[in-house]
Amino acid sequence: MKNIENQVAETVNQQFYTDVITGLRGNPKHLSSKYFYDAVGDKLFQELMSCNEYYPTNCELEIFSQQTAEMAKAIMSDGSPFDLIELGAGDATKSSYLLKHLLQQKADFNYLPIDISDNIISYLNMTLPVLMPGLKVTGLNGDYFDMLKTAHQASDRRKVVMFLGSNIGNMPVEDALDFCREIRKHLSPGDQVLIGIDLKKNPQTVLAAYNDKGGITKRFNLNLLERINKELNADFDISAFEHYPTYDPETGACKSFLISTRDQTVTINGADTVRFKKDEYVYMEISQKYTVEQADVMAKSAGFKTAKHLFDSKDWFLDAIWIAA
Ligand code: AVJ
């Protein structure tokens, strides 16, 4: 008899397998950046966040640490109790500034981090109440929208939903709008969204962030091939793929590709073969950049009113507060 955890792991793996095969049989070939974050990928992203070129995390951290009072004031609104929900909380480094300030202000709120990683949720449930005495934490492990529904049904307190780190950028513009509309559907008028959006800026600055000299971004991308080798029993020769980062200042699309350096055939799961032509590309990730105006339009089209803009000192990153109309 298999236990439930094994069955869950198998289902997840089945999804991973299906997505990889579909993506690599597609034209053009593509893989999903949501699979970047296995244990090695998590570590590489940590490394990336502390390298010189990758600016988004530091910019948003500056906003959270320097403009905490203003942010908290907007979120506390009329002083009524609320649920502070964070989609993809990670280790909650940025939100911790806000949480501590809200506690000092004696705000009446629950913190509900949502993450698809069971590990992260257990970690947050255990550590946050110790680090921040008095904080009421209920971590929710699962799909964002399933868990938003759960949160909506669990209490009729007003909701503040945080989606930080420019994670919205990992969707093409139309999908990002759909995503914001979907969030709106799970909220009531007056509820708020605090969203982190990376802004268009000097193209060299953007490109350098996704093409760091130390080659961390390159390893971050190639690691997905390693992960497919490990978890789906494949035989990618990592040395036969190059990292090709691009940024188009006109559209704001920052895209990463892997390029096959020779004709080659890869076998996945011992049976499925995928052929790569020399110079063929695999589309790996988009990190979309917006203007402030485009961010405002997205808010409006999704059924929100922009209430506040918070910028870092370089005006490279925006944390916007939206109110459900
Ligand atoms: C975590 C999705 C915000 O797109 O900037 C960093 C991931 N990819 N370098 C981003 C990433 C390459 C990052 N996000």
CA of 53 to the centre of ligand 1 (A): 12
Q: List the one residue out of 287, 285, 296 whose CA is nearest residue 318.
A: 296
Which of 45, 93, 117, 218 to mutate for ligand 1's pocket (most ligand atoms within 8 Å of CB)? Answer: 45
For the segment 224-233, what is each residue's pLDDT rounded down to a tens digit?
999 999 999 9
Write out pLDDT tens, residues 313-323. Answer: 999 999 999 99
| Residue spans of beta strands (DSSP E) within 127-280 | 140-141, 158-163, 192-198, 241-248, 253-260, 264-268, 272-276
Q: Is the peptide bond before 245 cis (omega within 30 degrees of 0)?
A: no
User: For residue 107, what is the DSSP state?
Assistant: -
Q: Which atom of ligand 1 is nearest to the CA of 57?
A: 3
Q: Which atom of ligand 1 is nearest to the CA of 209?
A: 9
89 C-beta closer than 6 A to ligand 1: no
Structure tokens at 313: 């000192």
Sheet holding 241-248, edge to edge: 29-30, 281-286, 253-260, 241-248
**Quick one: how far is CA 236 from the chain centroid?**
26
Burial class (CB in 10 A: 0-12, 13-18, 19+), 172: middle
| Pocket-testing residue among 31, 170, 289, ligand 1, by greatest number of atoms within 8 A of Cβ | 170
pLDDT tens per residue across span 29-75: 999 999 998 889 989 999 999 999 999 999 999 999 999 999 999 99
Q: Which of ligand 1's atoms lies nearest the C-alpha of 45?
A: 6
| Mean pLDDT on 280-308 | 98
122-170 pLDDT, tens digit each? 999 999 999 999 999 999 999 999 999 999 999 999 999 999 999 999 9
* Atom 10 of ligand 1, residue of closest alpha carbon: 287
| Whether pLDDT at 4 is above 90 | no
CA of 133 to the centre of ligand 1 (A): 32
Mutational test site, ligand 1, from 285, 286, 317, 318, max ligand atoms within 8 Å of CB: 285
Residue-wise pLDDT tens digits, 90-111: 889 999 999 999 999 999 999 9
